[in-house]
């Protein structure tokens, strides 16, 4: 009897060991998969920035039309989103969209997204990719100030200090720029303001309207609006230039591939935020920014980095990291409060980030 009990006990121990080993293998596979998703996101995001710069600036392509390029992106995205959601039905379009919400929230998001892409791409004609990325670090300052004006953010001494560090870093980086073009700076700052307004409208769409949209569904609604908002200025600003240029060198394969990469970038964002935490996404974003700055100095002749450039950008990035850390702590405490009172209405990522409030505009800058 005792021998039988010992055998049973040994079998139970053996089974537990197998289960532990199996769960360990699954954990390692999941971790490796997460790293793969992040690498794909960083590669696509970085590659799209360089791809756009090359298309707009290359003499071989000869397509210096940022409005036209962005318009192609939005038309391509509208068609693919329709195929994915309505034809193939790979992603479900959430219900709840009304004409009132579309007009008051979605259309402004589309307009601001169009503004961000247009001005951000135009900046490439005047400033380097590295300097454009450095100027983009001022984004948290614009989001905080405009968010405070809209009643979505609260100004505090801590946030004021963080914003001061970021602003000082961007000023130092600008001071260290050798070939600065103030026209390009104005375009890039306009793109930053547009992106900040887009994020604010998305916050209103999610929190005040209570609408849950994943990035693909959001692009399904936003892309046509952005295309309309881009088509109107394109008719007056770039179409006459294209007509006067005579024979337009059009590369359908390259431009289609460029548009496809833009769509793939947004899909990668959807995958990443579904399989990682908010902390991981923010860290990946900082890594991606540094990769863009350093690689652009190697790939493009107009990107010359100085010690002052890198020092200023390092200061600005430290402020961005502090800002992200502050927002994450705030989101975590907010999530606990919501859980205590019965849960919030927002759809969140595993790390507490808002799934509805993220899709990429890195294809512009």
Residue range 300-345, pLDDT digits in tens: 877 888 899 999 999 999 999 898 888 878 777 764 333 322 333 3
Report the distance separating Cα 201 and Cα 115, nearest Å: 14
- Residue bearing the bigger pLDDT, 356 or 348: 356
Confidence of residue 16 (pLDDT cuts 50, 70, 90): low
Q: What is the pLDDT of residue 202?
A: 83
- pLDDT value at 192 more than 60: yes
- Range 277-287 average pLDDT: 74
Report the distance separating Cα 15 and Cα 25, nearest Å: 15
Q: What is the pLDDT of residue 350?
A: 30
Q: What is the pLDDT of residue 365?
A: 45
Give the torsion sign (CA, 81, 83, 88, 92): positive
Q: What is the pLDDT of residues 143-160, one digit of tens each?
A: 889 988 888 888 889 999
- Range 174-193 average pLDDT: 92
- pLDDT value at 257 more than 90: yes
| CB contact set of 5 (below 8 Å; sequence gap of 6+) | none
Report the distance separating Cα 14 and Cα 17, nearest Å: 5
Ordered DSSP codes for 158-213: HHHHHHHHHHHHHHHHHHT-SS--HHHHHHHHHHHHHHHHHHHHHHIIIIIT----
DSSP structural state of residue 356: G
Mean model confidence pLDDT for the chain? 81
- pLDDT value at 89 more than 80: yes
Q: What is the pLDDT of residue 358?
A: 46
DSSP structural state of residue 357: G
Q: What is the pLDDT of residue 57?
A: 87
């Amino acid at each position: 009897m005792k021998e039988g009990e010992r055998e049973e006990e040994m079998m139970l121990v053996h089974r537990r060991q197998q289960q532990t080993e199996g769960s360990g293998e699954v954990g390692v596979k999941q971790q490796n998969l997460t790293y793969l998703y992040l690498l794909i996101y960083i590669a696509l995001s970085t590659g799209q920035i360089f791809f756009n710069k090359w298309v707009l600036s290359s003499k071989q392509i000869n397509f210096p039309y940022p409005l036209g390029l962005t318009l192609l992106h939005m038309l391509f995205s509208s068609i693919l989103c329709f195929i994915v959601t309505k034809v193939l039905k790979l992603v479900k379009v959430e219900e709840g969209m009304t004409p009132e919400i579309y007009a008051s929230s979605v259309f402004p998001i589309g307009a601001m997204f169009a503004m961000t892409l247009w001005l951000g791409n135009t900046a490439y004609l005047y400033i380097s990719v590295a300097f454009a990325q450095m100027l983009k670090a001022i984004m948290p300052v614009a989001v905080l100030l405009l968010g405070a004006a809209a009643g979505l953010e609260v100004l505090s001494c801590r946030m004021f200090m963080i914003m001061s560090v970021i602003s000082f870093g961007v000023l130092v980086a600008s001071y260290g720029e050798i070939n600065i073009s103030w026209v390009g700076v104005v375009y890039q700052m306009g793109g930053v303001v547009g992106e900040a307004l887009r994020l604010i409208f998305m916050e209103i769409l999610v929190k005040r309207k209570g609408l849950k949209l994943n990035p693909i569904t959001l692009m399904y609604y936003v892309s046509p609006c952005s295309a309309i908002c881009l088509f109107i200025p394109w008719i007056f600003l770039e179409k006459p230039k294209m007509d006067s240029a005579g024979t337009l060198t059009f590369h359908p394969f390259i431009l289609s591939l460029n548009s496809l990469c833009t769509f793939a970038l947004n899909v990668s964002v959807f995958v990443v935020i579904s399989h990682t935490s908010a902390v991981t996404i923010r860290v990946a974003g900082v890594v991606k920014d540094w990769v863009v700055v350093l690689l652009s100095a190697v790939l493009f002749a107009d990107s010359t980095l100085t010690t002052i450039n890198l020092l200023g950008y390092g200061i600005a990035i430290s402020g961005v990291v502090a800002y992200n850390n502050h927002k994450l702590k705030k989101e975590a405490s907010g999530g606990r409060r919501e859980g205590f009172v019965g849960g919030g209405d927002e759809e969140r990522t595993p790390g507490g980030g808002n799934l509805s409030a993220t899709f990429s505009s890195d294809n512009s800058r």
